Structure 1
Amino acid sequence: MSFCDTIWEEIAPLRQSILAHPFLSELAEGTLEPESFRHYIVQDSLYLAEYARALAIAAARAPTAAGRLEFSDGAKVAVQVEEALHQAFFAQFGVTPQTAVQNEATPACLGYTSYLSSLAATRSYEELIAGILPCFWVYWEVGCAIKPRAVSPNPYAAWIETYAAPSFGEATDRVRALVDEAAANASETTRAAMASAFRKAARYEWMFWDSAYRREEWPI
């Protein structure tokens, strides 16, 4: 079994917790409170700006042309999603660009982006791309899981379609292949560090949706 398949099975309980989270259940049902989704898209906009930087650093550090192309393309797509999908949702849910810029990253958002930044700045390329992968793979699983049961019409249909799109699944598969290739050529110590990075990033995915559902702010 490949590195990615092994760690994916290991985090099965976490994945089930993500799929069962009321943020995503209610999103599929079209009943998610607009305020919770508004909180999410603003924070996701802040997240994607930093995620694009992590992808760009991964591209610069990649040892192969395939890695450089994939991660540089990923950085570009992250910015495009921010500009297209988020701007459409900003208009739909009454968020002005000025409001989005003025918002502060919540503890969950700052924790996640800071973790990715620390991987990019202080850890190996292998750990960095392992930490990058959950944002692709978890979203792809979520999109595929909720699309068949999503009500129609649904105010969140564009979000669901984005992450259930075959093109997003293909991008996920390409990043998985790069992570598996890196793991196959890495030492046991590095593979353990990669697994740790993957698990932490996957936990942050749950925390991100949970914080949006609760409309989390700084406690003091």
Structure 2
Amino acid sequence: MGYRFKDLIAACQDDWRAYIEHDFVRTLGAGTLEAGAFRHYLQQDYLFLIHFSRAYALAAYKSRNLAELRQAFDGLKTILDVELDLHVGFCRDWGISQDDLAHLPEARATMAYTRYVLDAGNRGDLLDLHVALAPCLVGYGEIANWLNAQPSTLRGEANPFDAWIAMYESDDFQAAMAAEIDWLDGRLEEVTDARFAELAETFGNATRLEIDFWQMGLDRAD
């Protein structure tokens, strides 16, 4: 029996829970997160999406067959044509203009996380890149589901951050999350113990960088 995506989570269980259940996430769900912290996160997340696009372009370069190439193209197109437009609109609702976004300084936590993901993909193969990206794609979907299971979470107009939760609980995002897990399961099933240990280290590092990204929002630090 080979490895599965759940084994990557198990390999860094404490960090994964610290990421999914971070104070940024908890207060967002409860509607008590400071507005300035959320705005800072939104702006840096815009920059993250730019680098996320670059990562999918790298995935196209790393692709070994037509199916992988199409997967990378679809991911890149979704970010550029859908997610970034939605994010710009979301930022506008929070008083952040497109001109503001075009002149953002990049926070150190953003640089550390995005460059780590790109470096993992450059150094390794397509699986290395997907594993480095998984805490974001899979994690945000899990966070939305976790928030919806918490009695402290407010939904609807009572929570100014409700639209954020709705974005990641959506059928489209949950389907993308499930498809990514299926893809990872298929590849992880074939790896050796030594290879899995390398991938688990990458996944754990990326998860800790996600924790830093949340903390950056709370601290509003450069």
Relative to the length of structure 1, the TM-score reads 0.89
Q: What's the offset of the Cα at 1:141?
A: 0.7
Letter aligned with residue 197 of structure 1: T
Q: Could you tell me which residue of structure 1 aligns to residue 72 of structure 2?
A: 71
What are the within-5 Å matches in structure 2 for residues 163-202 of structure 1? 163-202=168-207
* CA distances 1:117-174 after superposition (whole Å, capped 9, x unpaired): 1122222222111112111111111011113533331221111011112321221121
Preserved CA contact (<8 Å) 1:108 1:208: yes
Q: Which residue of 1 aligns with 2:85?
A: 83
Aligned mates of 2:215, 2:205 — CA distance in 1 = 15
How many residues align? The count is 216
| Counterpart Cα distance in 2 of 1:16 and 1:159 | 20
Secondary structure of residue in 2 paired with 1:32: coil
Residue 134 of structure 2 is aligned to residue 133 of structure 1? yes
The reply on whether 1:215 has 2:217 as its aligned counterpart is no
Alignment CA distance shift 1:62-1:187 (3 Å): farther
- Secondary structure class of the residue paired with 1:113: helix
User: Which ranges of structure 2 fall in alignment gaps of 5 or more residues?
Assistant: none
Q: CA deviation at 1:64?
A: 4.2
Asked if 1:162 is matched to 2:167, the reply is yes
Q: Are the aligned partners of 1:126 and 1:190 in contact in 2 as well (CA < 8 Å)?
A: no
Q: How far, CA to CA, are the matches of 2:168 and 2:72 in structure 1?
A: 18
Contact in 1 for aligned 2:19/2:207 (Cα 8 Å):
no
- Matched-pair identity in %: 25
Runs (4 or more) in structure 1 with deviation over 6 Å come to none
Structure 1 residue 201, shift from structure 2 partner = 1.1
- Which one is further off, 9-18 or 185-194? 185-194
Q: Partners in 2 of 1:56 and 1:82 — Cα distance?
A: 15
Moved more, 143-152 or 39-48: 143-152
Superposed CA offset, 1:39-79 (max 9, x none): 00100000011011112221332334443333322222222
Q: Which residue of structure 1 lines up, in the alignment, with residue 57 of structure 2?
A: 56
Contact 1:55–1:72 (CA under 8 A) maintained in structure 2: yes
- How far is 1:196 from its partner? 1.4
Name the structure 1 match of 2:144. Answer: 143
RMSD: 1.8
Structure 2 residue aligned with 1:110: 111
Moved more, 184-193 or 123-132: 184-193
Structure 1 unaligned runs (5+)? none
Q: Choose between structure 1 and 2 for higher RCO, CA contacts under 8 A separated by at least 6 residues.
A: 2
Query: What's the counterpart of residue 156 of structure 2?
Result: 152
Q: With structure 2 as the length reference, what TM-score do the two structures score? A: 0.89
Q: Distance in 2 between matches of 1:64 and 1:185?
A: 18
